[in-house]
A = this chain, B = another copy of it.
Amino acid sequence: MSDSSLLNEMVDAFKCLPGVGARTAQRMSFHLLEHDREAGLRLASAIQEAIEKIGHCESCRTLTEHDLCKICSNANRDASKLCIVENPSDVIALEQATDYRGYYFVLMGKLSPLDGIGPEQLGLDLLEKRLESGEVAELILATNPTIEGEVTAHYLHELAAKQGVQATRIAHGVPVGGELDYVDSGTLSHAFDGRRAY
Protein backbone atom coordinates (compact mmCIF):
# COMPACT_ATOMS: atom_id res chain seq x y z
CA MET A 1 0.00 0.00 0.00
CA SER A 2 1.15 3.47 -0.79
CA ASP A 3 1.23 6.37 1.61
CA SER A 4 -1.24 8.35 -0.47
CA SER A 5 -4.75 7.83 0.87
CA LEU A 6 -6.35 9.02 -2.39
CA LEU A 7 -4.29 6.45 -4.28
CA ASN A 8 -5.31 3.75 -1.82
CA GLU A 9 -8.96 4.69 -2.26
CA MET A 10 -8.59 4.51 -6.03
CA VAL A 11 -6.91 1.09 -5.87
CA ASP A 12 -9.61 -0.13 -3.49
CA ALA A 13 -12.37 1.18 -5.74
CA PHE A 14 -10.97 -0.64 -8.79
CA LYS A 15 -11.37 -3.94 -6.93
CA CYS A 16 -15.16 -3.70 -7.44
CA LEU A 17 -14.66 -4.65 -11.10
CA PRO A 18 -15.04 -8.33 -12.05
CA GLY A 19 -11.69 -10.12 -12.33
CA VAL A 20 -9.72 -7.27 -10.77
CA GLY A 21 -7.68 -8.12 -7.67
CA ALA A 22 -5.28 -6.06 -5.58
CA ARG A 23 -2.37 -6.22 -8.04
CA THR A 24 -4.39 -5.43 -11.15
CA ALA A 25 -6.16 -2.60 -9.32
CA GLN A 26 -2.77 -1.12 -8.41
CA ARG A 27 -1.51 -1.50 -11.97
CA MET A 28 -4.62 0.22 -13.35
CA SER A 29 -4.32 3.09 -10.86
CA PHE A 30 -0.63 3.70 -11.59
CA HIS A 31 -1.27 3.46 -15.32
CA LEU A 32 -3.90 6.20 -15.21
CA LEU A 33 -1.88 8.45 -12.89
CA GLU A 34 1.47 8.05 -14.63
CA HIS A 35 0.54 7.66 -18.27
CA ASP A 36 -3.01 8.68 -19.11
CA ARG A 37 -4.73 11.12 -16.77
CA GLU A 38 -6.93 12.45 -19.55
CA ALA A 39 -8.34 8.99 -20.31
CA GLY A 40 -8.82 8.49 -16.58
CA LEU A 41 -10.98 11.59 -16.28
CA ARG A 42 -12.94 10.48 -19.35
CA LEU A 43 -13.47 7.07 -17.74
CA ALA A 44 -14.64 8.62 -14.47
CA SER A 45 -17.21 10.83 -16.16
CA ALA A 46 -18.36 8.04 -18.51
CA ILE A 47 -19.00 5.74 -15.54
CA GLN A 48 -20.81 8.44 -13.61
CA GLU A 49 -22.99 9.57 -16.49
CA ALA A 50 -23.90 6.02 -17.51
CA ILE A 51 -24.83 5.03 -13.96
CA GLU A 52 -26.87 8.15 -13.38
CA LYS A 53 -28.76 8.15 -16.66
CA ILE A 54 -29.10 4.52 -17.77
CA GLY A 55 -32.25 2.82 -16.55
CA HIS A 56 -34.43 0.01 -17.90
CA CYS A 57 -36.53 -0.09 -21.07
CA GLU A 58 -40.20 0.09 -20.08
CA SER A 59 -41.08 -2.62 -22.55
CA CYS A 60 -38.23 -5.18 -22.52
CA ARG A 61 -36.29 -4.22 -19.35
CA THR A 62 -32.89 -3.97 -21.07
CA LEU A 63 -30.47 -1.17 -20.19
CA THR A 64 -31.12 2.13 -21.94
CA GLU A 65 -31.04 5.84 -21.18
CA HIS A 66 -34.40 6.31 -22.96
CA ASP A 67 -37.92 5.21 -21.97
CA LEU A 68 -37.87 2.59 -24.72
CA CYS A 69 -34.73 0.94 -26.10
CA LYS A 70 -33.88 1.18 -29.80
CA ILE A 71 -35.31 -2.25 -30.60
CA CYS A 72 -38.59 -1.76 -28.71
CA SER A 73 -39.09 1.68 -30.27
CA ASN A 74 -38.64 0.21 -33.77
CA ALA A 75 -42.20 -0.43 -35.01
CA ASN A 76 -40.94 -2.32 -38.07
CA ARG A 77 -39.98 -5.46 -36.19
CA ASP A 78 -42.11 -8.60 -35.98
CA ALA A 79 -44.36 -8.31 -32.91
CA SER A 80 -45.48 -11.93 -33.19
CA LYS A 81 -42.09 -13.16 -31.97
CA LEU A 82 -40.69 -12.51 -28.51
CA CYS A 83 -37.26 -13.80 -27.49
CA ILE A 84 -36.48 -14.16 -23.78
CA VAL A 85 -32.86 -13.73 -22.69
CA GLU A 86 -31.18 -13.37 -19.32
CA ASN A 87 -28.95 -10.33 -19.90
CA PRO A 88 -28.61 -7.25 -22.12
CA SER A 89 -25.35 -8.69 -23.49
CA ASP A 90 -27.35 -11.67 -24.83
CA VAL A 91 -29.41 -9.26 -26.94
CA ILE A 92 -26.21 -7.81 -28.42
CA ALA A 93 -24.88 -11.32 -29.14
CA LEU A 94 -28.11 -12.47 -30.83
CA GLU A 95 -28.44 -9.26 -32.87
CA GLN A 96 -24.88 -9.74 -34.14
CA ALA A 97 -25.21 -13.46 -34.89
CA THR A 98 -28.76 -13.86 -36.23
CA ASP A 99 -31.20 -12.10 -38.54
CA TYR A 100 -33.97 -12.30 -35.92
CA ARG A 101 -36.37 -9.39 -36.43
CA GLY A 102 -38.76 -9.90 -33.51
CA TYR A 103 -38.63 -8.26 -30.10
CA TYR A 104 -36.80 -9.22 -26.93
CA PHE A 105 -37.62 -9.47 -23.26
CA VAL A 106 -34.65 -9.26 -20.91
CA LEU A 107 -35.06 -11.00 -17.53
CA MET A 108 -31.99 -9.24 -16.02
CA GLY A 109 -31.26 -12.52 -14.23
CA LYS A 110 -32.71 -16.01 -13.88
CA LEU A 111 -34.99 -17.78 -11.42
CA SER A 112 -32.90 -18.55 -8.35
CA PRO A 113 -35.07 -18.96 -5.22
CA LEU A 114 -32.00 -19.42 -2.98
CA ASP A 115 -30.84 -15.91 -3.94
CA GLY A 116 -34.34 -14.53 -3.48
CA ILE A 117 -34.89 -14.13 -7.23
CA GLY A 118 -38.45 -15.16 -8.10
CA PRO A 119 -40.84 -14.32 -10.97
CA GLU A 120 -41.42 -10.83 -9.56
CA GLN A 121 -37.73 -9.84 -9.67
CA LEU A 122 -37.57 -10.96 -13.31
CA GLY A 123 -40.55 -8.80 -14.32
CA LEU A 124 -42.64 -11.81 -15.30
CA ASP A 125 -45.86 -9.92 -14.47
CA LEU A 126 -44.93 -7.54 -17.28
CA LEU A 127 -44.27 -10.51 -19.57
CA GLU A 128 -47.56 -12.17 -18.63
CA LYS A 129 -49.50 -9.01 -19.57
CA ARG A 130 -47.71 -8.98 -22.90
CA LEU A 131 -48.67 -12.61 -23.56
CA GLU A 132 -52.27 -11.91 -22.52
CA SER A 133 -52.51 -9.19 -25.16
CA GLY A 134 -52.51 -11.97 -27.80
CA GLU A 135 -49.91 -10.22 -29.94
CA VAL A 136 -47.18 -12.81 -29.37
CA ALA A 137 -47.43 -16.04 -31.37
CA GLU A 138 -44.03 -17.54 -30.54
CA LEU A 139 -42.09 -17.20 -27.31
CA ILE A 140 -38.42 -18.08 -27.98
CA LEU A 141 -36.68 -19.23 -24.81
CA ALA A 142 -33.01 -18.26 -25.10
CA THR A 143 -31.99 -18.46 -21.45
CA ASN A 144 -28.56 -20.00 -20.81
CA PRO A 145 -28.25 -23.81 -20.81
CA THR A 146 -27.38 -23.86 -17.09
CA ILE A 147 -29.52 -25.47 -14.39
CA GLU A 148 -31.10 -22.12 -13.42
CA GLY A 149 -31.51 -21.19 -17.08
CA GLU A 150 -33.33 -24.46 -17.78
CA VAL A 151 -35.55 -24.04 -14.72
CA THR A 152 -36.39 -20.52 -15.90
CA ALA A 153 -37.13 -21.79 -19.43
CA HIS A 154 -39.42 -24.47 -17.98
CA TYR A 155 -41.28 -21.88 -15.90
CA LEU A 156 -41.69 -19.60 -18.94
CA HIS A 157 -42.91 -22.53 -21.03
CA GLU A 158 -45.73 -23.14 -18.52
CA LEU A 159 -46.52 -19.42 -18.42
CA ALA A 160 -46.83 -19.42 -22.23
CA ALA A 161 -48.94 -22.61 -22.25
CA LYS A 162 -51.42 -20.97 -19.84
CA GLN A 163 -51.92 -18.20 -22.41
CA GLY A 164 -51.97 -20.59 -25.36
CA VAL A 165 -48.71 -19.19 -26.75
CA GLN A 166 -46.26 -21.57 -28.42
CA ALA A 167 -42.86 -21.66 -26.68
CA THR A 168 -39.68 -22.76 -28.47
CA ARG A 169 -36.21 -23.38 -27.01
CA ILE A 170 -32.96 -22.57 -28.84
CA ALA A 171 -31.09 -25.74 -29.85
CA HIS A 172 -28.34 -27.18 -27.69
CA GLY A 173 -25.75 -29.36 -29.30
CA VAL A 174 -22.21 -29.59 -30.60
CA PRO A 175 -20.81 -26.07 -31.22
CA VAL A 176 -20.10 -25.34 -34.87
CA GLY A 177 -16.40 -25.96 -35.52
CA GLY A 178 -16.12 -28.12 -32.40
CA GLU A 179 -14.89 -31.71 -32.28
CA LEU A 180 -17.02 -34.50 -30.87
CA ASP A 181 -14.43 -35.89 -28.50
CA TYR A 182 -13.80 -32.47 -26.93
CA VAL A 183 -17.50 -31.86 -26.18
CA ASP A 184 -18.80 -32.72 -22.69
CA SER A 185 -21.15 -35.69 -22.38
CA GLY A 186 -24.20 -33.60 -21.41
CA THR A 187 -23.93 -31.57 -24.60
CA LEU A 188 -23.25 -34.67 -26.70
CA SER A 189 -26.30 -36.45 -25.29
CA HIS A 190 -28.41 -33.33 -26.03
CA ALA A 191 -27.05 -33.20 -29.57
CA PHE A 192 -27.78 -36.90 -30.14
CA ASP A 193 -31.33 -36.73 -28.78
CA GLY A 194 -32.00 -33.61 -30.80
CA ARG A 195 -30.90 -35.11 -34.16
CA ARG A 196 -32.86 -34.01 -37.21
CA ALA A 197 -33.47 -35.37 -40.70
CA TYR A 198 -30.47 -34.62 -42.94
Contacts and interface: CB of A to CB of B under 8 A. Distances in A.
Interface string A35-55: 011011111111111111110
A6 B44 contact: no
A112 to B, nearest CB: 14
Interface residues of A, number: 57
Given A32-B51, A46-B10, A51-B33, A16 B3 contact: no
Contacts of A108: 34
Interface string A50-79: 111110000000011110011100000000
Interface stretch (A19-27, A151-159, A189-197): A19-27
Contact of A41 (B17, B33, B48, B54): B48
A172 interface: no
Nearest to A42: B13
Contact of A32 (B7, B26, B47): B47
Nearest to A14: B43
A2 interface: yes
